[in-house]
Amino acid sequence: MTLNYHTYREIKQQPEVWKKAYGLVCERKVEISAFIHKYKDLGYSIVLTGAGTSAYIGDALECALRDTLLKGASSIATTDIITAPELFFGPDSKILLISFARSGNSPESIGAIRAIEQTAGSVAHIFITCNAEGELAKKKGDNILCLLLPPETNDLSLAMTSSYSTMFLVCAMIANIDKIEGDRAHIEALAGAVEKAMDKYEDAINAIAQRPFNRAVFLGSGALKGVAEESRLKLQELTDGAIMCAFDSFLGFRHGPKAVVHEDCLLVYYISPDPKVRRYELDLIGQIAANNKVVATVAVCQKDHALKKDYIDLLVELGIPEDMPARYSSVGSIFVAQLLGCFKSINVGLCPDTPSVSGNISRVVEGVSLYI
């Protein structure tokens, strides 16, 4: 299938862009390692930040970086930092702020930097951005490291797709910067598996998008919960809110949010490669299958774990090696929601590149007044 939309091309280009990004990180290994170690050795705490999709990168990586140089990183959205920075930082705070930004021009990106510099005792910055002409990319200083991604990651479409996944992976790469050469096999395996899976399941995902649902739920555990969070936004924004979406962990979903499961609902399950975690996920899938009638269910997994096929309408088996670290493997699931959103956008009569008919959302957020 070939569609003449920026969104579609930007989704499909991801595996190749990831390999390019890996090469860029490797070229700057010495510089990146020295910068991170400098501030880690001085006791700086690591904060992952961004707004919207960029914030969700941090939410997913927060629990996936625990065995890396960036272990202990916390995810705090720029939108929270701006409104009340004193809730998170004080004059004794020493912060290494890792900012994710596609354009680097959003008011929150600039405002969060200003707010934290006015509140914390000391701040250093790593900017992971896609736009060489953006405000973040132009900032200079001894306490700043800017990691500029391949230019094609500066998505032309409204929805962030290749920008999201590539910024995600670059942060995961620098978290293991001292051993980054050994991660080449992981990146190549991830890119190869996702490229094949997109080609294999694209038509089936399109067929799911044609079904008559008007709400959707994405579930995941650990880092995959963060991916579910971004998935929720992708489908909702690409359909201009025509499809209302939710996300949760599998166990968290039982505690009230499961009320959203109606006959007009699509369910997307991101299945953990960890057998201990998967037990809880399969229990919930079985319970919903027994008690609820829905439009469709999609399960996304690295490997087919004997999921009961009568519980699932579409099983997407990614083929990603199960021993791959979650900081890399988890982002391999996102293309399912990206394609689903692209196809559903077309199905409801919208252009996926510019789906917001009302103008409620825009490629770079506008109209935000900063009171700092």
Kindly report, residue by residue over 200-221, the tens digit of the pLDDT. Answer: 999 999 999 999 999 999 999 9
Residue 91: pLDDT band (50, 70, 90) is very high
Task: Encode pLDDT of 293-307 as tens digits.
Answer: 999 999 999 987 667
- The pLDDT, as a whole number, for residue 126 is 98
| The pLDDT of residue 369 | 66
Q: How confident is the model at residue 357 (pLDDT cuts 50, 70, 90)?
A: confident
Determine the 3-state secondary structure of 251 from DSSP. helix
pLDDT at 358: 72
Share of the chain above pLDDT 70, in %: 96
Rounded mean pLDDT of 26-37?
98
What are the sequence ranges of the domains in the chain? Answer: 6-175, 186-347
- pLDDT tens sequence across 171-198: 999 999 999 999 999 999 999 999 999 9
User: Which pLDDT band, with edges at 50, 70 and 90, does 367 fall under?
Assistant: low
Q: What number does CATH give the domain 6-175?
A: 3.40.50.10490
Range with the lowest mean pLDDT among 27-36, 206-215, 310-319? 310-319
Q: Where are the alpha helices (DSSP H) in the chain?
A: 6-12, 14-27, 29-41, 53-61, 78-83, 107-119, 135-138, 162-174, 184-209, 223-238, 250-253, 275-291, 326-329, 334-347
Q: Is the fold of 6-175 the same as that of 186-347?
A: yes
pLDDT at position 1 is 73
What percent of the residues of the chain are helix, what percent strand, and what percent coil, each to the nearest 5?
A: 50, 15, 35
By the 10 Å C-beta count (0-12 exposed, 13-18 middle, 19+ buried), 306 is classed as exposed
Mean pLDDT estimate for the chain: 94
- Give the CATH H-level superfamily of domain 186-347: Glucose-6-phosphate isomerase like protein; domain 1 (3.40.50.10490)
Cα–Cα distance for residue pair 350/343, rounded to 1 Å: 10
Model confidence at 361: pLDDT above 70: no
